[in-house]
Structure formats: structure tokens, C-alpha cells
Amino acid sequence: MDYNQLQPNDPRLHWGHTQLNILTDLWQQRTVVGKGVRVGVLDSGFIPDHPDLKIFPKSQKDFTNGAAGFGSSRSHGCYCSGVIAAAGTEVFGVAPETTIAYGRVKLNSRSIAEGIEWLLTVRPAIHAISISLEIFEENENPADFQAMKDAIAKAEEKGKVVVAALGNDFAR
């Protein structure tokens, strides 16, 4: 696909970008589209066969024991994956040829640690791990929080870029 020929036409695009005409200009100047890049996304929900996302075959795992919401197109994980790698006709991410491995996790450090370990084991060729969730150390079991920190350190030792949300709570 020639991404330089695409014109953003999703009516939900951020109005500021549209008003300043920067989205189209930046899109047409881009040279990096994510070809060969693999990202593990750990988040709260996802559509396994979403038409705008390129998913590793058999690279989805649910660490929530089947809690409702895994297949919601309005889930946070679907949005975050789209920002990274959407390659649809109306919506596209910053690197649309990126391939995603997806783990649905609970909002706790133990689940995130399990997700990181799974990515490192099942998809060792990933380049980055995205964790756009919010947890607070004071609310976590100390052993579980340490397990998450250890899993992040292990990922970094293996050369993975770990990107995590900070300040995702409007009340703090």
C-alpha cells in the first residue's frame, strides 16, 4: 500500500490537526511506516480480528480469566493499538505496517507481569511493549509490584523498549 497516497478522511480526526492542516502534510512527508516492526500491547480490551490492525497469528492472550469486554471496538486497547498501527481506509496509526501481539490484562501489577513474560516467551522478536494502563504502587501487593518491575527490567535487558502511561488519572 502506498501510504503517501492516503488522505485522512475520518470525521473523528482531531479538529486541531485538521484546522492547522498538519496531519496531511506530516503524513505525506513520512518515510517510516513500521515495516518489520513488532509491538506487544498489554491493555484492557481488543478485537482479535480487527480489520484495521495487523495481528501476529495466534498472538492474543487473555490474562483476565475471561472477564467481559475482550472484543469491544471501544476498548482502550483497541484505541491504543490503532494509534500505533491502524492501517484502514479511514483510520491509520503512526506506523501502519507494524505487527501487534496483544495481551488483555487486568489493572494490576501481577497481570501486567504475566503479560510481559508471555510476550518475551511467545513473541521474543518484538521490538517494543506498550502498557497504557494505570496502577498505583500503594494499591498493589508488594510482591506482585516487584514481579512487574522485574519483568520490565527483563524486557529492557533483552533490548525491548517498554513504553508505559504516566499520569493517566485526571484526578491526580
Backbone angles phi, psi at 55, to 5 degrees: -105, 140
Q: How many CA atoms lie within 13 A of 127 on its CB side?
A: 10
Longest Cα–Cα distance of the chain, Å, equals 51
Mean pLDDT, rounded, of the chain: 79
pLDDT at 92: 73
pLDDT at position 169: 60
**Nearest-angstrom CA–CA distance, 42 and 141:** 20
pLDDT at 104 over 80: yes
Residue 93's beta-bridge partner residues? none
pTM: 0.79
Pick the more confident residue, 59 or 164: 164
Residue 132, all three cell numbers: 497504557
Q: How far apart are CA 47 and CA 85, in angstroms?
A: 14
pLDDT confidence band for 84 (50 / 70 / 90): confident
Question: The domain 32-164 is classified under which CATH number: 3.40.47.10, 3.40.50.200, 3.40.50.10420, 3.20.20.60?
Answer: 3.40.50.200
Q: Where in the chain is the domain with CATH 3.40.50.200?
A: 32-164
Q: Is the pLDDT of residue 7 over 80?
A: no
